[in-house]
Structure formats: structure tokens, C-alpha cells
Amino acid sequence: MNIVLLGPPGAGKGTQAKRMIQQYGIPQISTGDMLRAALKAGTELGLEAKKFMDKGALVPDTVVVGLVKERIQQADCAKGYMLDGFPRNVSQAKTLDGMLKDLGQKIDHVVSIEVPDAELVKRLTGRRTCRDCGAGYHVMFDPPKKDGVCDKCQGQLYQRDDDNEATVSSRLKVYNDQTKPLIDYYQGQSKIRGVHGVGDMAEIFARIVKVLG
Ligand code: AP5
Ligand code: MG
Ligand code: ZN
């Protein structure tokens, strides 16, 4: 099963993807995580991407398309995968469709997680992530047992550089202008599975499992 997780910044794509890995046994492919990993490794691609990410802008299509193309052909993707944060504009979606056709694959479902803007700002500005294992937290909605320390691996928690109020507002604008049109694009392919993204994280997960049937 090949799934696209679609939703604004802070909708809970990453949070729900972690649960879906367990449920469906398929990997999460987050272009944002891959770009941050490239930056952490100090590669040229990572350093170039950071210039766009810090502004809340999209990294050029060729860069992310290249990353995804290589990743979906790895062995652990043989039974399917979840794309988190890709595609992010209609051009990427069209390129993806062409790429999958060549590989004899297709997207089966697009899970569209809907959350109002005011809630997104609260979620993003309070998000914390583990430097070592990547586990996600929120200072109010999902706090770690000990301030700044990961429950799972005792790693240090950090705040993403793009989670400040100014960059969050640019990211929301970019989402509305460039990513939201994907809802119509995939509606045209009858692939949209809408999920109300406000409420308890476990409850939202149950809604996703339900729409995926
Ligand atoms: P990316 O890393 O993909 O960021 P994003 O799309 O902005 O999404 P987020 O990761 O911020 O949100 P999320 O939906 O995963 O939320 P989460 O589960 O963490 O991209 C970053 C940048 O990389 C982009 O701006 C761009 O520059 C570049 N990029 C990436 N992909 C690209 C592409 N394809 N093309 C071009 N450029 C690209 O949850 C957020 C917080 O809320 C957490 O703290 C969590 O604990 C909390 N939370 C989750 N669910 C709930 C709930 N139900 N109730 C309360 N709190 C909740
Ligand atoms: Mg994410
Ligand atoms: Zn950790």
C-alpha cells in the first residue's frame, strides 16, 4: 500500500506516521526529515536546502524528487510506503505520478489531515524533537516526563529552526498557496481520504485506520 500523508505544517503527519509504521509495517518517507538529516551530515545538499527551509519556502523540486526517487526503490519499500511532506505542489505530484508509472506502482490513498491555522501555530511553536531517536513531543500537549529529555532514549530535545512564529506563518502561507491545490488534484483521482485532525492523537489514528479501510 502506497500512501501520501497530506496536511499543513503541524497537522500531525509525523506523529501519525509513527503509529502507522507499526500498524501497516511500511516505512515513513519524510522529505523534511531527509533534508534535516542531510544538513546534520553537513552535505552540500543539506546546506543548500537550509536556505529555503529557514525562510519557510519550498526546496527546489529537483532536489526533493531526486531524494524520493532513490528512497522508494530501496528494499524496505517493496511492500509499500508512506510519503510524508511529499508531494508538496502540483508539479511534484505530476512528476511522482510519472515516476511511479515507470516503476509499475501507484499511490493508493491520500490521507488529508485537516486542522485549523490557530491550532497549527500552537502545535508548531511548542513542538520538541529528540536529537538522537527523532521522537516527537509537545511542551503542553505531549510533554516528556523530564523537561528537555527524551522518554525513550534519554536524548536531548530540541526545537526546529523553522518552528518560530515568523517562519511558521510563511510555511502556512506556502501550504495554502502551493500544497492545498493537491487536495483537488487527488480528488480528481478519487484518492482523497479526509480526516479531522483535531482531538486526541490516538483518536485521530483510529480515524485514519478507518478511512484506509
Ligand atoms: P517538513 O518537515 O515536512 O515540515 P511540515 O510539512 O511543515 O510539517 P511538520 O513536520 O512541521 O508537521 P507535522 O504534520 O509532521 O506535525 P507533527 O506530527 O510533528 O518540511 C520542512 C521544510 O522542508 C519545508 O518547509 C520545506 O522547506 C522543506 N521540504 C520538505 N518537503 C519538501 C518538498 N516535498 N518540497 C519542497 N520542500 C520541502 O506535529 C506537530 C506538533 O503537534 C508536535 O509537537 C506534536 O506532538 C503535536 N501534535 C500532533 N498531533 C497532535 C494532536 N492531535 N493534538 C495536539 N498536539 C498534537
Ligand atoms: Mg513532520
Ligand atoms: Zn529519543
* C-alpha 157 – ligand 1 centre gap (Å): 16
pLDDT tens-place string over residues 1-59: 999 999 999 999 999 999 999 999 999 999 999 999 999 999 999 999 999 999 999 99
- Ligand 1 neighbour 207 (Cβ under 6 A): no
Helices and strands (H, E) in the chain, number of each type: 9, 8
Alpha-carbon dihedral sign for residues 88, 30, 26, 194 = negative
Contact yes or no for 104/95 (Cβ under 8 A): no
Domain ranges for the chain: 2-26+79-115+165-212
Query: Domain 2-26+79-115+165-212: which CATH class?
Result: alpha beta
- Ligand 1 neighbour 112 (Cβ under 6 A): no
pLDDT tens-place string over residues 125-181: 999 999 999 999 999 999 999 999 999 999 999 999 999 999 999 999 999 999 999
Active site residue 13: yes
